[in-house]
């Protein structure tokens, strides 16, 4: 089964962002990481998609998870 596209909008200083990325890495989930602290276009895209300024915002095949929610991640990723 093909893995869904995963994007994470995060910043290097965000502890929940680091937790989310570690979770994805531990489950061998490939993801694109967008640093919204330094990338204005990524920040604007995140806000347009989610209506939120909170991070992380995780986009799994078009389904958004705001914040690090392990149960939701497992459900959306089929883990």
**pLDDT at residue number 67:** 95
- Cα–Cα dist 68/61, whole Å: 17
Q: pLDDT of 6-42, one tens digit each?
A: 999 999 999 999 999 999 999 999 999 999 999 999 9
Domains of the chain from N-terminus onward: 6-77 (3.40.30.10)
Pairing of strands 6-10, 63-66: unpaired
């Amino acid at each position: 089964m093909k893995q869904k596209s995963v994007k994470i909008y995060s910043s290097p200083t965000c502890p929940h962002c680091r937790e989310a990325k570690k979770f994805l890495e531990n489950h061998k989930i490939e993801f694109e990481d967008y640093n919204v602290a330094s990338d204005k276009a990524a920040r604007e895209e995140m806000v347009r998609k989610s209506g939120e300024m909170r991070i992380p915002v995780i986009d799994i095949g078009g389904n958004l998870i705001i914040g690090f929610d392990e149960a939701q991640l497992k459900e959306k990723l089929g883990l």
